[in-house]
Amino acid sequence: MPNFKKIKVKNLEKFVTECFVKSGMSEEDAKITADVLISSDKRGIASHGVARLKRYTDGIKKGVMKPKANFEILKETNNTLLVSGNDGLGQPVTYKVMKLVIEKAKKNNVAFAAIRNSNHYGIAGYYSMMALRENLIGISMTNSFPLVVPTYGKNALLGTNPISVAAPSNKEIPFLLDMATSTVPRGKLEVYDRQGKKIPDFWATDTTGHPTDDPGLVLNNVKNKLGGGLLPLGGATEETGGHKGYGLAMIVEILTGILSGGAFGPFVYGKPNEPANVCHFLGAINIEAFIPLDEFKNALDSLISILHNSEKAEGQQKISIHGEKEFKRENEQKEFVEISDIVLANILEVGKSLGVNSKL
């Protein structure tokens, strides 16, 4: 198990921002990208935090991510946007387009954007939370590297394709769902593999297409495209509902890759030394177009409180609401964030190679 160090958030922000600036990004875009990564760490989602820094700076070095790409609005109406990220990093384009979506939703009740030619955008929930802070319902989804097998298929053809929806509450912690449409994301297999643990049989399949309990085998197979992969939410069969998770992954491919005119399914990261063409879909719904905001928030409070206070299953202590643990963790880590020594060594190495001056 790794040790964790408490790092001052302000220092980490400065350091990560400088890494991106030294990689060729503008100060503004570097700051946005740093904030998305560090927010993830603050919320306790280390897999999508600064641990990803090296993948991004490497992507820029290889030329598959463009540090100076300015996104382009290809088509615009009063409530829709079609955008090309022009192969830039996913965070700056998505952040800026979500701002426009929020503006449009405030003026015109609902708004959606489809973004193509982008890259990994961090946690889906970062962008739905931007709408949440403006008292809107926020929607964010993205396609991703094809790791997931369709029900009864052998090969990974769909991404883990997360869906995030956020909705504002009043006294209670707000609702924030941010879920991969696979039973688990790849990172979970990596954790089990490192700990030498077996995985349950709804998580992944081997090269025959049958469930396996060996996480290392799966990771190797998907890396080398040998067959098998992660299972959709619901597991390997229709009996356990696997076709539903597969259907949710399809919805994400349709709204992101297909609706944007970008890459979908196996075409995402389809060519080794070319840009990934990851695609996103963003939305915001103005609650006031339907009912008074306070009425909505109080009703959500009421549902949350009913769930919290209802009887637990035998042996259980708590019924959680989606996002609750992460909002609490974020609140604890406002000034200092825990980073594992492995990740810390990794990002210090990145900083050194880029000639970064700021200290952690």
Instruction: Determine phi and psi for 288, rounding to 5 degrees.
Output: -65, -20
Instruction: Determine phi and psi for 204, rounding to 5 degrees.
Output: -160, 160
Using the minimum distance from each CB to a copy of itself, give the nearer residue, 20 or 192: 192
Specify whether the CB–CB gap between 212 and 197 falls below 8 A.
no
- Residues 287-316 within binding reach of a copy of itself (CB under 8 A): 287, 289-291, 295-296, 299-300, 303, 306-307, 310-314, 316
Query: Least distance (Å) from a copy of itself to the CB of residue 227?
Result: 7
Using the minimum distance from each CB to a copy of itself, give the nearer residue, 54 or 244: 244
Query: DSSP secondary structure string, 282-310?
Result: EEEE-GGGTS-HHHHHHHHHHHHHHHHHS
Specify whether the CB–CB gap between 322 and 176 falls below 8 A.
yes
Give the count of residues interacting with a copy of itself (CB under 8 A).
84
Is residue 239 a contact residue for a copy of itself (CB under 8 A)?
A: yes
Rounded Cα–Cα distance for residues 13 and 45 (Å): 17
Specify whether the CB–CB gap between 161 and 280 falls below 8 A.
no
- Residues 197-236 within binding reach of a copy of itself (CB under 8 A): 200, 202, 205, 208-210, 227, 233-236
| Region binding a copy of itself by CB under 8 A among candidate stretches 38-46, 152-160, 268-276, 341-349 | 152-160
Specify whether the CB–CB gap between 297 and 168 falls below 8 A.
yes
Using the minimum distance from each CB to a copy of itself, give the nearer residue, 23 or 151: 151
Tell me, rounded to whole angstroms, the distance of Cα 268 from its chain centroid: 16
Structure tokens at 323: 């996002």
Using the minimum distance from each CB to a copy of itself, give the nearer residue, 3 or 311: 311
Using the minimum distance from each CB to a copy of itself, give the nearer residue, 291 or 342: 291
Using the minimum distance from each CB to a copy of itself, give the nearer residue, 28 or 290: 290
Instruction: Determine phi and psi for 62, rounding to 5 degrees.
Output: -70, -20
Residue in 54, 61, 244, 329 binding a copy of itself, rule: CB under 8 A: 244
Please tell me whether residue 113 adopts helix, strand or coil conformation: strand
- Residues 42-101 within binding reach of a copy of itself (CB under 8 A): 75, 77-80, 82
Using the minimum distance from each CB to a copy of itself, give the nearer residue, 56 or 192: 192
Using the minimum distance from each CB to a copy of itself, give the nearer residue, 196 or 314: 314
List own/partner pairs for 292-299 with CB under 8 A and 24 or more apart.
293/135, 293/168, 294/170, 296/167, 296/168, 297/168, 297/169, 297/170, 298/170
Query: Least distance (Å) from a copy of itself to the CB of residue 64?
Result: 23
| Region binding a copy of itself by CB under 8 A among candidate stretches 29-37, 38-46, 212-220, 263-271 | 263-271
Per-residue mark of binding to a copy of itself, 159-188 (x: CB under 8 A): ------x-x-------x-x-x---xx----
Query: What is the number of alpha carbons within 13 Å of residue 172 lying toward its C-beta?
Result: 27
| Region binding a copy of itself by CB under 8 A among candidate stretches 117-125, 319-327, 329-337, 342-350 | 319-327
Query: Least distance (Å) from a copy of itself to the CB of residue 24?
Result: 31
| Region binding a copy of itself by CB under 8 A among candidate stretches 47-55, 61-69, 95-103, 244-252 | 244-252
| Interior angle at CA 224, CA 262 and CA 229, nearest 5 | 70
Using the minimum distance from each CB to a copy of itself, give the nearer residue, 75 or 328: 75
Residue in 131, 258, 276, 284 binding a copy of itself, rule: CB under 8 A: 258
Per-residue mark of binding to a copy of itself, 8-47 (x: CB under 8 A): ----------------------------------------
Range list of β-strands (E), 38-132: 72-76, 80-84, 110-118
Query: Least distance (Å) from a copy of itself to the CB of residue 155?
Result: 5
Specify whether the CB–CB gap between 137 and 262 falls below 8 A.
no
Query: Least distance (Å) from a copy of itself to the CB of residue 324?
Result: 11
Rounded Cα–Cα distance for residues 317 and 202 (Å): 25
